Amino acid sequence: MRLLADLIRGQKVEKVLAELEHNPKHPAVPLRKLVLSAISNWKQKNEGGDESQLFIKTIFVDGARTLKKNASCSPGAWLQSSQAQQSRNSNC
């Protein structure tokens, strides 16, 4: 996604849409939707503006959500550790 964002930054919207339409990379589809949404928002705000002069000024990609993975162990190791805890508790 960052590679495509770097590719389209600073270019005219017409050229960006053409590049994203014919780009085989998977993130090209959501980026194209994003650019079309930005154009639509601009049209609503500036009804008499010229769309052909638009260009991508700023685009950035933040880090996505990450899954927290649990460090699991084998059931036997868990059983041994719980038995060790029980024996420590009974000795006290």
The per-residue pLDDT for 6 is 92
> Locate tokens 């959500």: which residue?
65
| Residue 85 maps to a domain | no
| Residue 26 maps to a domain | yes
| Residue 35 maps to a domain | yes
Please give the residue range of the domain that contains residue 21.
1-44+53-61
> Which has more pLDDT, 51 or 33?
33
On whether the pTM is more than 0.75, the answer is no
Instruction: Decide if pLDDT at 25 tops 70.
Output: yes
Using alpha carbons only, give the angle 31, 10, 23 rounded to the nearest 5 degrees. 40
Report helix, strand and coil shares of the chain as percent, to nearest 5. 60, 0, 40
Question: What's the total number of domains in the chain?
Answer: 1
The per-residue pLDDT for 77 is 61
| Residue 6 maps to a domain | yes
| Residue 66 maps to a domain | no
The tens digit of pLDDT for each residue in 34-88 reads 999 999 999 999 987 888 889 999 998 888 777 777 666 666 665 565 555 555 5
| Residue 38 maps to a domain | yes
